[in-house]
Amino acid sequence: MSDMTDTGGPVLAADGTPLKRSLRKALRRQKMRALLLIAPLLIFVLVSFIMPIGDMLYRSVENKIVSQTLPRSTQALSSWDADSGELPSEAVFAAMAADLKEAAEQKIHTRVGSRLNYENPGMSSVFRTSGRKAKKFDLENGGPWKEQLIEINEDWADTDVWRTIKTYSPPVTAGYFLNAVDMRVGPDGAEMRPERERIYMNLLKRTLWMSLLITFSCIVLAYPVAWLLANLPTRKANLLMILVLLPFWTSLLVRTSAWKILLQQQGVINDVLVWIGLVDDNARLIIINNQFGTIVAMTHILLPFMILPMYSVMQTIPPSYVRAAKSLGATDWTAFWRVYFPQTIPGIGAGSILVFILAIGYYITPALVGGTKGTFISNQIAFHISTSLNWGLASALGAILLAVVLVLYWAYDKIVGIDNVKLG
Amino acid sequence: MKLVKTLLASSALTVTAGAVSAQDMANEMTLVSWGGAYQASQVKAYVEPYLEMYPEVSVTWDESSAEAVAKLRAMNEAGNVTWDLVDAVASDAMRLCDEGLAIELEHDEVLEPAPDGTPASEDFGDLLVSDCFVPQIVYSTTFGYRTDLIGDEAPTSVCDVFDLEKFPGKRALQKRPIDNMEWALYCDGVEKDAIYDTLGTDEGVNQALDKLATIKDQVVWWTAGAETPQLLADGEVVMGSTYNGRLFSAIAEQDQPIEMLWDMQSFDLDGWVVPAGLPEDRKARVMHFLKFATDTQRLADQAKFISYGPARKSSAPLVGQHAELGIEMAPHMPTDPANSGNVHIYDYEWWADNRDDLNAKFEAWLAR
Amino acid sequence: MAKLPPYATTGQRIWHYTFLVICGLIFFFLIAPIAVVVPLSFNAENFFTFTPEMLRLDPDGYSLKHYRDFFSNPDWQNAMWNSIKIAPVATVVSVSLGTLAAIGLSQPHVPARRAIMAILISPMIVPLIISAAGMYFFYSKINLAGTYWGVVLAHAALGIPFVIITVTATLVGFDRSLTRAAANMGADPVTTFFRVQMPLILPGVISGALFAFITSFDEVVVVIFVGSAKQQTLPWQMFTGLREQISPTILAVATLLVGVSIILLTVVELLRRRSERLRGMSPG
């Protein structure tokens, strides 16, 4: 080392290259090695998880089906003015007849009908009834198609039907997202849906509100327990900790089935209440298949996620602070409220965000104990995937839920740091 | 020359037909059904006998019939159909057929004729509502009630379901518009013949939903057929709609204090569809099984385990007593004259056309 | 709080005991639902409440019939075997890839570390229904839906965050000079990893593995969408059972699963203590 400074030139490493470059090279090699170690997993997660999420997000705006199934009509409609109040020309009707015939032969006309029905209820039956006849259309000399189509289904004489087809011709649509916030494209652009058809904003509000209630009940129940655990001698605390960790490690299905048995009208809780005479046998409490059932069961399931972060924060608070406050004349309450409680806020914050994030995405528990009033937006997503088959809307609802979660996740990362998550 | 060609063609056909022999049939089948008592009747009536005859075959059950259309769409999109034979209600079968997700069948060629030689298409008659559909049973969606919880007077009309004063307590209804909307209109004073015309208008839909709204707070909505019997047995509801066979098994097999309310029962069909896009060997196995499972004797056997009417006319005389309980099955069939005094004729075609519209409105109403 | 000081006022005493009672009730709330399942699973009847015989502790009120049903019913047996076939394989995938990546992430200079971390943790944060929806659509496209490997892949992805979190947590306390010393003494990186690093981070790896295992073993939302009947797992079977007809067999299964979780919990606790001890001894 000493003789290198003597040369006066750049500092050299043992092999003669300048030290700066050598260090940079070493750093680069280190970075490469780190990346190589991470790469397999990163690729794995990208393929098995991130791409599916991306696919779902794409589905929430994708709308190729209309222009692919009805290529001629969408083309012909581009010159039609929807606000003119007049029906499209015979050429458009003829194009539609040709499209319908081809689609009916391939048996895809009902799919485009279902697609358009999401935007304008009634479209599905228009396409179904027309498709049934369309296979026998004689395209060469079957016209005039305007009368023919209207004869098959009078809704073809409704400009709204044509407007819907025109509006949803482009391969990308905001329709699903509008639908997910109870809006639709009307004659004058986006507008709210009629009162009777609004679902999702209320559902989202309900999901957020119930998740808040669950988070709040978790805070109330977790605080004393976490405090007790943090202030007991280690041996006792470890024993009691098992009571917190056992539910945490127990299968979600086990806990949900337990609540189902407990909460039923003929269940354990009602039986006990009847037995001790608090409740009449004919007036058993209805505590399942409603919001109450969901809140109780989910509070129980998520409680450990609140206790654990609170506990780890409370453990680090030296008891001398409260003692100091008391010796300076504070009452028990003041010492707690002014000195102890403020120091536990990070724990409450971390626990709350965690519980809230987990709560708004819940599906299983609300599905089993929530009835119709106690279900969440997740249940509606599942419904649209497997029953109503409106995958675009399911994806749009999923995208909105995902956005809410990501904002919360970002907040969690800011407050707690994702590296500091501890398990168990 | 023409004759030679025809001969050649037909011999080629026989060769291909013969080539699909036992070796070329897949030995695994995934059957899709509804679970519960109904699936059990299928197992006992023809799956177990079939497996006894062909021990090399193994069967996997998937209880996903309620989601048949969604799942088949997803499989079709992927080009990877994992199901071999799907049990579906008639309206779903029509939908699958319309969308090209199920294959069309030549009923007389792929199914056994009746023992007297009547071709299958005549034996099933007008129950063949779709080219893709092989009906197995006629069932009905109807009500059951708890005799001990309902009060002194038993309900006699479907409208008693809407009468909260006379019959207080929770009721179970299926979470879908079909049947519920019709019952609501009927009980709101709409003539039976006018129900579908009324339901075709926005006012009619609102009228039905408003009628349902009068009992909405007292309704537990079910999605699986086994739920209502369970809810009734647990006393969670005092009355509820479900498939009549499920109620039969709760009443006759499990001795629950439940009675049937047949008024305005809604007839429907259930049967098999073969998914489109199966590889040849699996398709060959499925067709082989389908031929066996839907013959006259097998369909009659099924009725010995559950109170659904067999879809073949030729099976009806073979239905006798319950296989295990030894009780006469006829009085428990939805088609028995004593039970079918006032029935609701469910219009498949109307529902196939309007299902998407009404589902959307019903869901919106439900979520309110 | 553990002990009341001798100079406490009456008010303080009352509060002290009230507080203990409140905590007791909360602990009761936490544990009672799980505890209730266990005795009910031995019910001799097909009921979900305690029969008079059970309350009298009459042996006739108890039986193992629901357990017998579980072990003889082909549906439940099938579901059990599927769970046993899926969870360990998913665990192996997430642990092997996850441990490597965690080691990579704990190197001093990792470009875009926060972004990578966010991606790797995301399967834990994204609501299950969204993961399930995305995987259902995407896996259908690439022919993985309804297959064994589709479910394994999905479950492995869900388990990865837990492996990353637990293993990086052990690596935070890992003394880097140990690997340098090993390298100095001529060990190649692979030897260093297996002989020096691995034994020290092993507790973290094992508890990560247990988390990944339980994630897959308990998972129901994703498998319902991604899997088909051939992959029906225990939780799935329980979910169907709970929705349709709660047969008391579910309670027997639940009790067995509680047993599994007790075992896993014990192992994790032992490991945590061991790793704390180890870390306490290592310098820095």
pLDDT, tens only, A264-282: 888 889 888 988 988 888 7
User: Is B11 domain-assigned?
Assistant: no
- C110 shares a domain with C53: no
Domains for chain A: give ranges and CATH numbers: 2-59 (no CATH), 64-173 (no CATH), 200-420 (1.10.3720.10)
- B354 shares a domain with B250: yes
**Does the CB of A130 have a partner CB in chain B at under 8 Å?**
no
Cβ neighbors of C164 (< 8 A, separation 6 or more) are C98, C101, C102, C105, C117, C120, C121, C208
Residues of chain B in contact with residue C246, where contact means CB-CB under 8 angstroms, are 230
- Would you place residue A118 in the very low, low, confident or very high pLDDT band (cuts 50, 70, 90)? confident
Closest by Cα among B103, B123, B104 to B113 = B123
Give the CA count within 13 Å in the CB-facing half-sphere of C115. 5
Cβ neighbors of C90 (< 8 A, separation 6 or more) are C151, C152, C153, C155, C156, C159, C212, C213, C216
Please determine, for residue C118, whether its predicted confidence score (pLDDT) is greater than 50.
yes
- B246 shares a domain with B361: yes
- Would you place residue A144 in the very low, low, confident or very high pLDDT band (cuts 50, 70, 90)? confident
The CA distance from A16 to A21, in Å, is 11
- B254 shares a domain with B119: no
Tell me what percent of the residues of chain B surpass a pLDDT of 90.
47
If phi over 0 gives left and psi between -120 and 50 gives alpha, with beta otherwise, what is residue C146? left
Query: pTM, whole model, 2 decimals?
Result: 0.87
User: Is B96 domain-assigned?
Assistant: yes
Cβ neighbors of B211 (< 8 A, separation 6 or more) are B162, B184, B185, B187, B188
- C4 shares a domain with C128: no
Residues of chain C in contact with residue B83, where contact means CB-CB under 8 angstroms, are 228
pLDDT, mean of residues A26-43? 90
pLDDT, mean of residues A272-296? 87
Where b means 16+ CB within 10 Å and e means fewer, C153-169 reads bbbbbbbbbbbbbbbbb
When divided into structural domains, chain B yields a total of 2
- Would you place residue A7 in the very low, low, confident or very high pLDDT band (cuts 50, 70, 90)? low
pLDDT attached to residue B21: 52
- B255 shares a domain with B111: no
Please determine, for residue C112, whether its predicted confidence score (pLDDT) is greater than 60.
yes
The partner residue sitting opposite C246, judged by closest CB among B83, B224, B230, is: B230
Which of A124, A154, A181 should we substitute to test contact with B (largest number of B Cβ atoms within 10 Å)? A124
Quote the tokens at residue B128: 């063949």
Cis peptide before A309 (omega within 30 of 0): no
If phi over 0 gives left and psi between -120 and 50 gives alpha, with beta otherwise, what is residue B56? alpha
The CA distance from C252 to C254, in Å, is 5
- C86 shares a domain with C22: no
- C138 shares a domain with C111: yes
The amino acid sitting at B47 is: V
The partner residue sitting opposite C238, judged by closest CB among A242, A253, A264, is: A253
Is B132 within 8 Å of B104 (Cβ atoms)?
yes
pLDDT tens-digit map of A79-89: 888 888 888 99
Cβ of C140 within 8 Å of Cβ of B82? The answer is no
pLDDT tens-digit map of B216-274: 989 988 888 888 988 888 888 999 999 998 899 888 888 889 999 999 999 899 999 99
- C153 shares a domain with C19: no
pLDDT, mean of residues B37-64? 91
Is A305 within 8 Å of A421 (Cβ atoms)?
no
Please determine, for residue B78, whether its predicted confidence score (pLDDT) is greater than 90.
no
The partner residue sitting opposite B98, judged by closest CB among A110, A265, A383, is: A110
B–C CB contacts, 8 A cutoff, strictly below: 57
Residue C59's SS3 state is: helix
Angle at alpha carbon of residue C25, lines to C20 and C28, rounded to 5°: 125
Helix pair angle (C128-141, A51-59), 10° resolution: 90
Q: For chain A, what is the mean pLDDT?
A: 88
pLDDT tens-digit map of B91-123: 889 889 888 899 999 999 999 999 999 999 999
The partner residue sitting opposite B224, judged by closest CB among C137, C146, C244, is: C244
pLDDT attached to residue B13: 42
Residue with token string 């046993």: C84
Closest by Cα among A103, A120, A198 to A159 = A120
**Does the CB of B255 have a partner CB in chain C at under 8 Å?**
no
Q: What is the largest CA-CA distance in chain C?
A: 73
Any idea which of A122-126, B183-187, C76-80 has the lowest mean pLDDT? A122-126
- B310 shares a domain with B291: yes
What's the Cα-to-Cα distance from A240 to each of A235, A237, C30, rounded to whole Å?
9, 5, 11
pLDDT attached to residue B191: 93
User: Is B62 domain-assigned?
Assistant: yes
Please determine, for residue A2, whether its predicted confidence score (pLDDT) is greater than 50.
no
The partner residue sitting opposite B60, judged by closest CB among C137, C230, C244, is: C230
- B201 shares a domain with B220: yes
- Would you place residue B12 in the very low, low, confident or very high pLDDT band (cuts 50, 70, 90)? very low
Cβ of B32 within 8 Å of Cβ of C243? The answer is no
Cβ of A264 within 8 Å of Cβ of B352? The answer is no
- B106 shares a domain with B31: yes
Residues of chain C in contact with residue B65, where contact means CB-CB under 8 angstroms, are none
CB atoms within 10 A of CB C20: 13
The CA distance from B119 to B155, in Å, is 43
pLDDT attached to residue C281: 45
Is A90 within 8 Å of A76 (Cβ atoms)?
no
Cβ neighbors of B257 (< 8 A, separation 6 or more) are B146, B147, B148
Subunits that touch chain B (at least 3 Cβ pairs < 8 angstroms)? A, C
Residues of chain B in contact with residue C134, where contact means CB-CB under 8 angstroms, are none
pLDDT tens-digit map of A322-347: 989 989 988 889 999 999 999 998 88
**C35: closest chain A residue by CA:** A258
Going by the DSSP 8-state scheme, the letter that residue B313 receives in this structure is G
- B163 shares a domain with B54: no
pLDDT, mean of residues A70-74? 93
When divided into structural domains, chain C yields a total of 3
- B148 shares a domain with B90: no
pLDDT attached to residue B151: 82
Cβ neighbors of C196 (< 8 A, separation 6 or more) are C178, C179, C182, C187
Please determine, for residue B4, whether its predicted confidence score (pLDDT) is greater than 50.
no
Cβ neighbors of B187 (< 8 A, separation 6 or more) are B158, B159, B161, B162, B211
Cβ of A124 within 8 Å of Cβ of B357? The answer is yes
Cβ of C165 within 8 Å of Cβ of A245? The answer is no
Q: For chain B, what is the mean pLDDT?
A: 87
Give C203 or C259, the one with higher predicted confidence. Answer: C259
CATH number at residue C243: 1.10.3720.10
Which of B72, B356, B358, B366 should we substitute to test contact with A (largest number of A Cβ atoms within 10 Å)? B356
- C104 shares a domain with C51: no
Quote the tokens at residue A212: 């808040």
Closest by Cα among B133, B110, B54, B168 to B295 = B110
Residues of chain B in contact with residue C240, where contact means CB-CB under 8 angstroms, are 35, 63
- B90 shares a domain with B73: yes
Domain encompassing residue B119: 24-138+270-318
Closest by Cα among A220, A190, A208, A250 to A348 = A220
- C1 shares a domain with C93: no
B114 alpha-carbon distance from chain centroid: 22
User: Is B92 domain-assigned?
Assistant: yes
Please determine, for residue C4, whether its predicted confidence score (pLDDT) is greater than 80.
no
pLDDT attached to residue B11: 43
pLDDT tens-digit map of B115-170: 999 999 999 988 888 899 999 999 999 999 999 888 888 999 999 999 999 999 88
Going by the DSSP 8-state scheme, the letter that residue B259 receives in this structure is E
- C24 shares a domain with C5: yes
Cβ of B74 within 8 Å of Cβ of C140? The answer is yes
Is B309 within 8 Å of B334 (Cβ atoms)?
yes
pLDDT tens-digit map of A184-223: 887 778 888 888 778 899 899 999 999 999 999 999 999 9
User: Is B28 domain-assigned?
Assistant: yes
* Burial of A276: CB neighbours in 10 Å, binned 0-12, 13-18, 19+: exposed
pLDDT attached to residue A422: 58
- C106 shares a domain with C65: no
CATH number at residue B253: 3.40.190.10
pLDDT, mean of residues B301-325? 86
If phi over 0 gives left and psi between -120 and 50 gives alpha, with beta otherwise, what is residue A232? beta
- Long-range Cβ contact pairs of A225-230 (< 8 A, separation 24 or more): A225/A307, A225/C23, A225/C26, A225/C27, A226/A306, A226/A307, A226/A310, A226/A311, A226/A314, A226/A347, A227/A314, A227/C1, A228/C1, A228/C19, A228/C23, A229/A307, A229/A311, A229/A314, A230/A311, A230/A314, A230/A315, A230/A317
User: Is B171 domain-assigned?
Assistant: yes
Please determine, for residue A6, whether its predicted confidence score (pLDDT) is greater than 60.
no
- C208 shares a domain with C67: no
Residue B78's SS3 state is: helix
- B345 shares a domain with B230: yes
Is A378 within 8 Å of A210 (Cβ atoms)?
no
Cβ of C218 within 8 Å of Cβ of A252? The answer is yes
Cβ of A52 within 8 Å of Cβ of C137? The answer is yes
- C131 shares a domain with C234: yes
Residues of chain B in contact with residue C137, where contact means CB-CB under 8 angstroms, are 74
User: Is B12 domain-assigned?
Assistant: no
- B30 shares a domain with B125: yes
Subunits that touch chain A (at least 3 Cβ pairs < 8 angstroms)? B, C
User: B81 to chain C, minimum CA–CA distance in Å?
Assistant: 9
**A217: closest chain C residue by CA:** C26
What's the Cα-to-Cα distance from A191 to each of A114, A118, A169, A186, C121, rounded to whole Å?
22, 15, 19, 6, 39
pLDDT tens-digit map of C171-223: 876 777 888 888 888 888 888 888 888 887 888 888 889 989 999 999 999 99
Domain encompassing residue C131: 75-281
User: Is B7 domain-assigned?
Assistant: no
